Every structure is written in structure tokens, then in C-alpha cells.
Amino acid sequence: MDARIRPLIVNSPSVLVVAGHDPSGAGIQADIETMAALGCRAFTLVTCLTSQNSQGVRSVTPTPKAMLFSQAECLLSDMNAPSACKIGLIPDEECLEAVVDILGLLPACTPVILDPVLGATAGGPLAASSLPHSLLKHLIPQATLVTPNLRELRRLVDASGAPRETRSLSCEWCLVKGADEPGETITHRLFHQTALFAEYHWPRIDGVFHGSGCTLASAISAFIARGEPVATAVAHGLAYTWRALSVAIAPGGVQLLPSRPFE
């Protein structure tokens, strides 16, 4: 090697990302792009391959449990402990079991951000019908922050047997995204241990977006990995995502794709 060429060592925070692959730009691709834009490095475990585009989902092929765990074990044996773990689409019970086992490989203090993806915005299921109950029982109690939209929250609340009026989950932090509600202003609500902690109001941007939830959860994960408290990371993640949506592009026929600007 030429002595003048030296590798650049950058000690940027790392985030372990466990999510599905979406060839149309959401999912794990959105996670990688967002974290890179915010100065973090994503190490990825792919839970499933999907056949989808901006118009909907055709098929979901889960990664076998043994393979997913093997990926994690191999990866984590060779890297420093990640500064955070972001979890996206979990397609079935076997993948969920693998993810729970993978969390057992991480230091107990690792912040875990769970985006409970249950369906595609453009239509079509992404996760097995039994997943809401299993998420509530096995994964949500281990999460530092859960980021459901209202549709996902209602499915999770129904699975718990609690009244539908409940707007938070029994976890440390829960950000309930309000884009499902009509109106010119979107209200997101952050709960801490079931008590309302803060509300965030943002003007609605025209259009239907693909990958906005992935972008938000990844942005929050990046800010947490950089050392910010959860509430601060949520506020900064929402601001970053609004900017990404405000300059979205239209590569497909229906939904817009967030542009993820470097900070």
C-alpha cells in the first residue's frame, strides 16, 4: 500500500438495525440512509425479503430463525457493542423469537427502539396476524421506545385486551404518531410509562409517503446513539423527518419517498 494512503478511522456511533428489505426504498434501506445522514453507522440484520413497490405488497419471505440468529452472533462477535438497536419489520413468530434471542446478546443497557410495522401504507399485510399479541408479550417490555402509528396502536391495544381508548403501551417510552388522523396539523404524542409527556404539532405535507415511519424511528435511534436523552431524540427525529418529507421525491406511481438530507 502506498504510504501516503492511510485508512480513515472515524469513531461514529453504531446502531444494530433489525428490519426487512424493501426494494422500493423503505425498510432497511431507509434505516441505512437515515443513520448515515445523521453521522451513525448501521450494522444490519435482514428479517425478510419483500416484493413491494409504491403501490402495495406482493409477498413477504421471512429469514429463517437460525440464519437470522447466526448473522447476529457472527456480527456481534467481531464488533464493539452498538450504541443502540433499532427494530423494524418482524414478519412472523420465528423471526420474533430470533430477535428476542439477539437482544440477549447485547449489553443490558443498550437502548432498543421498536417500530412495530404491521402493514404497508399502500396496502397489504407485512406481519403475521398473531404478531401484535407476541410483540406485546415478548418484545415491547424490552423496548426503550416504541413508535406505533394510530392504526398499529389500535391493533396492539386490541391484542392486549385493554380498552380501545388507551393511547399508550405499557413500556418505558411510546411515541404515538398521529398522521392517521385527518386535519391540516399532525399531532404526535409521547408517553412516558403510560403518562402523556409531550405533544408535537407539525403542519401536514401533501402526499402519501413510503418509508416515513422507518425514517423517523431511524432518526430517533441515531440521535439516541449519539447520546441524546429519549425526549430530545424524539423531538430532533421528528424535525429531521419533517424536513425529509418536505423534499420528498416521486420515483414510483403512487407514494412519495423521503429524501434524507445530511445533517
- What is the rounded CA–CA span in Å between residue 183 and residue 214? 23
Average pLDDT, stretch 85-114? 96
Is the confidence at residue 119, as pLDDT, over 90?
no
Does the predicted model carry a pTM greater than 0.85?
yes
What rounded mean pLDDT belongs to the chain? 88
Q: Give the model's pLDDT for residue 201.
A: 96
Contacts of 78-81 with CB under 8 Å at 24 or more apart are 79/14, 79/43, 80/14, 81/106, 81/107, 81/110
Q: Distance (Å, rounded) from C-alpha 54 to C-alpha 32? A: 19
Residue 1, pLDDT score: 45
**H helix and E strand count, the chain:** 7, 9
d(C-alpha 94, C-alpha 18), whole Å: 14
Tens digits of residue pLDDT in 212-235? 999 999 999 999 999 999 999 999
Q: Give the chain's length.
A: 263
Question: Distance (Å, rounded) from C-alpha 27 to C-alpha 51?
Answer: 12
Give me the domains of the chain, ranges plus CATH numbers. 14-152+210-246 (3.40.1190.20)
